[in-house]
Structure 1
Amino acid sequence: MLSEDKFDASLDLLRRLSPRHVAENLSAVCSLLQHENETEGEELAQDLLSAVDKPLEVVRCAGSGKSFLCCDYNRDGDSYRSPYSNQYYPATGDEDSPFPSPALRKLEIKANESFDIYRDLYYEGAGLSSVYLWDTAEDDTNSIQEGFAGVVLFKKETEDKMGRWNSVHVFEVEPELALLAVYKLTTSVILDLLNSSLALNSLSLAGTMTRQTEITQSLSTEGESLEWAHLTNLGQLVEKSESNIRNLLQDVYFDKLKDIMLKDLRTLGDVSEKKAEELKQLELINGLQGL
């Protein structure tokens, strides 16, 4: 089987498996590919890790004592770069490990501070956020003026661990004019909700939603630097994207779930069963609202 066919078959298999266990399933598929052909399997595994969204992992930065989020965009092998110390954990010992240019690193620090304030406001002071930037221009000495890319990560769990929200915002900034830039944003939200009532049968809802946005924005630098102009535009774009997806989850998917549970299925049971289904649906909605 050709490499392209193996990759497509792996993606098709992962789509059909439970999204609740996507991390375990992805690891198993990658191991299977590497077992069959180590060299080819390693390349396919790297492609799968880049293509498949999975819940964000948390690692503690020894240099700062803070926890940070891990994804494929701050990974080098089995190590992950901290946005606080700019070091990999565990240490790679490889001088060729990817790092942002000095100018972009300064912007990365500001971005982490800014989106941490965003997280505190929009996630009720809970959860974690991390931002990672990388150069896209061949000459990284002037990377901010010539364009860059990055990812904004958010993760939150409810206190009872029954609700989990992971959002990944991958963006690319392409300057058009001196004070005009194109922002391309791909947002993926991984939602996992579980019925917490022991009196009812188990009911869960899990899945991933992805949306893309492209917009041209002016860079207002009056009294501010170019870096803060980019952060302002990115913050507004991420805020709008998260709000749109949250509304879709609430208005489309949960309303559809309500129709199925309370209309299509209500003739299959008695009144007590109907009330039980109503409670299940209400708990799932409360779980989303608690994130």
Structure 2
Amino acid sequence: MADPFDAALDLLRRLPPSSTQNNLNGIISLRPDLEEDLLSSVDVSLTSRRCPKSGRDYLCCDYNRDGNSYRSPWSNEFEPPIEPDDAADLVPGGRVRRMEESLNSAVDVYRELYYEGGVSSAYLWALDEGFAGVVLFKKTASGAGKGGWDSIHVLEINEAATKRSAHYKLTSTVILDLGMSSSSVDNLDLAGNLTRQTQQDSSLSGFKDSDVEQGHVVNIGRMVEDMETRMRNLLQEVYFGKAKDVVGDLRSIQPLSEAERDKKAHREVISKMGR
């Protein structure tokens, strides 16, 4: 008999990507004991909340969640509030919190420049030998053409003993969901996700703690930016290029009369070349 968790993952892989959230909720309602494992293993479209203290929006994921509460990167507080003893273990402080604040400022500028809107968030937490984090982006469009872009970049950073360099491991997932409804095309849906991973060693300059912290933020930002560019190009080639080929094979943009005229002219040229 198959393991229920493996069977659930296998089922979600075979269902439409645009309905992952609804299908995930349905599986959890049938098997509540799988909730924690599924939520930490399955990537779904991000949701946003408004921080009551700062008035700014932030993104929710499994990495800033405790039960039904989510931590805001702007106030560093959970909403709804959680027990103080739990918050002490889940809320970052010291250098990790300082880097988190700097990283949020950096990705906020990147989001405005590249996405021209949307919401971004970054979360960091301490590890035994370094720290880890996640950088999130979400952009949605509405109107005749509806769509959504969700980027999830999970990082693990291992620092050298001298703190002169660090090893960065990045796992990135992009969830794309596009749709259009009009009289000319009827209903068109294009959805899917793409995951890529990369690792690199980068140096850290400066002797002050603030310089090392800023070096981490710069290295993380550069890695995320490079990965986003690479994945955008892959999505353009795989999703849009393939969709264009399929539509081109199924439906001719030219009227039939023009297509026949072009074919006739082509045959005449070939016949004259033969003579």
Tell me which interval the TM-score lies in, with the shorter structure as reference length: 0.7 to 0.9
Q: How many positions carry a matched residue from both structures?
A: 252
SS in 2 for 1:225: helix
Residues in 2 aligned to 1:147 and 1:198: alpha-carbon distance in whole angstroms: 55
Equivalent residue in structure 2 for 1:164, among 145, 148, 159 = 148
The code of the aligned residue for 1:110 comes to S
Q: Which runs of 5+ in 1 are unaligned?
A: 35-40, 138-145, 273-291
1:37-82 Cα deviation digits (max 9, x unpaired) = xxxx1xx210110110001111111111111100000000011001
Percent of aligned pairs sharing the same letter: 49
Do residues 108 (structure 1) and 100 (structure 2) align? yes
Residues in 2 aligned to 1:60 and 1:214: alpha-carbon distance in whole angstroms: 33
Do residues 119 (structure 1) and 103 (structure 2) align? no
SS in 1 for 2:21: helix
Conservation of the 8 A alpha-carbon contact between 1:147 and 1:175? yes
The code of the aligned residue for 1:239 comes to E
Q: Which residue of 2 aligns with 1:199?
A: 184
Q: Using the TM superposition, give the Cα deviation of residue 251 of structure 1 relative to its aligned residue in structure 2, in angstroms.
A: 1.7
SS in 2 for 1:95: helix
Residues in 2 aligned to 1:100 and 1:222: alpha-carbon distance in whole angstroms: 23
Change (3 A) 1:222 1:254: farther
1:231-276 Cα deviation digits (max 9, x unpaired) = 111111000100010000112322122222213x248x9947xxxx
Q: Using the TM superposition, give the Cα deviation of residue 222 of structure 1 relative to its aligned residue in structure 2, in angstroms.
A: 7.8
1:60-110 Cα deviation digits (max 9, x unpaired) = 111111111000000000110010111111122352141113221111111
Residues in 2 aligned to 1:33 and 1:270: alpha-carbon distance in whole angstroms: 52
Do residues 210 (structure 1) and 202 (structure 2) align? no
Q: Which runs of 5+ in 2 are unaligned?
A: 257-275
Name which one, 1 or 2, has greater alpha-carbon Rg. 2
Equivalent residue in structure 2 for 1:61, among 28, 34, 51 = 51
Conservation of the 8 A alpha-carbon contact between 1:101 and 1:135? no
Conservation of the 8 A alpha-carbon contact between 2:95 and 2:213? no
TM-score normalized with structure 1 length:
0.81
Conservation of the 8 A alpha-carbon contact between 1:194 and 1:204? yes
Q: Which residue of 2 aligns with 1:173?
A: 157
SS in 2 for 1:220: coil
Q: Which residue of 2 aligns with 1:245?
A: 231
The code of the aligned residue for 2:47 comes to E
CA RMSD of aligned residues (A): 2.1
Do residues 189 (structure 1) and 174 (structure 2) align? yes
Do residues 31 (structure 1) and 29 (structure 2) align? yes
Q: Using the TM superposition, give the Cα deviation of residue 112 of structure 1 relative to its aligned residue in structure 2, in angstroms.
A: 0.7
TM-score normalized with structure 2 length:
0.86
Equivalent residue in structure 1 for 2:135, among 114, 138, 152 = 152
Q: Using the TM superposition, give the Cα deviation of residue 195 of structure 1 relative to its aligned residue in structure 2, in angstroms.
A: 1.4
The code of the aligned residue for 1:18 comes to P
Residues in 2 aligned to 1:266 and 1:105: alpha-carbon distance in whole angstroms: 55
